[in-house]
């Protein structure tokens, strides 16, 4: 009997020990999961704070663009502005959208100039410029819809130019002859919100070269180009607002908004595009 009692006692002790080990394991798992959830919640809160600060910076930029005081008004010169909004450090830049080329409105000569300025060969540039004008419907009627459909089908494409304005810059990749690499090189110089003729005063070097290649001048004023000076409040401008926000917990967010600023209208501005967040 003593041996039996000892064996039973030992078995009970073993059960207790294993139970304690199991409880310790469960507690460790719950604690680790709790810490993970806390970190996730903290990251979400930090990203939300950075996003809210970036949104606020866009509207603050619009406010400064509408300021009737010349000495206080921000200009579309690409210069960096630094702001502190809550716990987020904001860097924003304002650019004149009219300094870019609008493929929906640009002439074939200007598109050809842009393609050549971006490094395309002259013969290929001429063909692609014509293909773009056919896509957006601005080309002279030298080809019928059936001929264009046959041309695209002969190249292995199961569609044809719609003959209507682009809805996004990405759509250009569907144009016959366009490549992803070439579109990537063109993208920084394109817009869907600018005039038919870019403003040479705010054009970047590639657009300025395109104007010259198209027969214009990069130093003079293109016909109808809008010049924005610090001492005038133009009736309407289109601004590209680039925002980078560094929030708490090393949260980083970048976004781009395009706004039409019209001081004489009500409410004075309209948001034309609001690109998706890029959170790192």
| Measured distance CA(75)–CA(96) in Å, rounded | 9
What residues does each domain of the chain span?
A: 40-97+228-279, 108-190
Mean pLDDT of 33-41: 70
Burial 43-58 (b: 16+ CB within 10 A, else e): eeebbebbbbbbbbbb
Give backbone dihedrals phi and psi of 257, rounded to 5 degrees, phi first: -120, 145
Give domain 108-190's CATH architecture: Orthogonal Bundle (1.10)
Rg of the chain over Cα atoms, rounded to whole angstroms, equals 30
CB atoms within 10 A of CB 125: 22
What digits encode the pLDDT tens for the residues 72-82?
A: 999 999 999 99
Of all residues in the chain, the percent with pLDDT exceeding 90 is: 55
DSSP at 72 = T
Q: Which has the closest alpha carbon to 244: 89, 65, 94?
A: 89
Q: What was the pLDDT predicted at 221?
A: 40
**Domain 40-97+228-279 adopts which CATH fold?**
3.30.1300
Q: Judge whether 245 and 51 are in contact, CB under 8 Å.
A: yes
Q: Which residue has the tokens 């190249």?
A: 155
Residues in CB range of 17: below 8 A, 6 or more apart:
none
**155 has a pLDDT exceeding 50:** yes
**4 has a pLDDT exceeding 70:** no
What digits encode the pLDDT tens for the residues 173-205?
A: 999 999 999 999 999 999 999 999 999 999 999
Q: Which has the closest alpha carbon to 106: 138, 78, 61, 66?
A: 138
Q: What was the pLDDT predicted at 253?
A: 86
Burial 249-263 (b: 16+ CB within 10 A, else e): eebebbbbbbbbbbe
| Measured distance CA(190)–CA(188) in Å, rounded | 6
**230 has a pLDDT exceeding 60:** no
pLDDT classification of 234: cutoffs 50, 70, 90: low
How many residues are there in the chain?
280
What digits encode the pLDDT tens for the residues 119-143?
A: 989 999 999 999 999 999 988 766 7
Mean pLDDT of the chain: 85
Mean pLDDT of 30-36: 71
């Amino acid at each position: 009997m003593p041996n039996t009692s000892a064996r039973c006692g030992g078995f009970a002790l073993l059960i207790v020990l294993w139970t304690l080990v199991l409880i310790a394991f469960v507690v460790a798992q719950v604690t680790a999961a709790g810490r993970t959830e806390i970190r996730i919640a903290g990251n979400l809160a930090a990203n939300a704070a950075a996003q809210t600060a970036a949104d606020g910076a866009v509207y603050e930029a619009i406010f400064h663009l509408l300021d009737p005081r010349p000495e206080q008004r921000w200009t579309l010169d690409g210069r960096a502005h630094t702001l502190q909004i809550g716990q987020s450090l904001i860097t924003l830049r304002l650019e004149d959208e009219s300094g870019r080329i609008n493929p929906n409105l640009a002439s074939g000569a200007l598109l050809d100039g842009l393609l050549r300025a971006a490094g395309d060969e002259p013969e290929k540039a001429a063909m692609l410029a014509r293909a773009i004008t056919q896509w957006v419907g601005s080309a002279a009627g030298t080809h019928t819809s059936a001929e264009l459909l046959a041309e695209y089908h002969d190249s292995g494409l199961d569609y044809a130019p719609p003959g209507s304005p682009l809805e996004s810059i990405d759509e250009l990749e569907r144009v016959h002859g366009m490549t992803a690499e070439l579109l990537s090189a063109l993208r920084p110089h394109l817009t869907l919100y600018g005039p038919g003729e870019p403003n040479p005063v705010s054009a970047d070097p590639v657009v300025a070269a395109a104007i010259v290649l198209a027969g214009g001048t990069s130093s003079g004023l293109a016909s109808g180009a809008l010049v924005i000076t610090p001492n005038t409040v133009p009736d309407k401008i289109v601004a590209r607002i680039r925002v980078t926000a560094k929030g708490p917990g090393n949260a980083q967010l970048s976004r781009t908004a395009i706004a039409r600023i019209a001081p004489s209208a009500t409410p004075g501005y309209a948001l034309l595009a609001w690109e998706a967040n890029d959170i790192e």
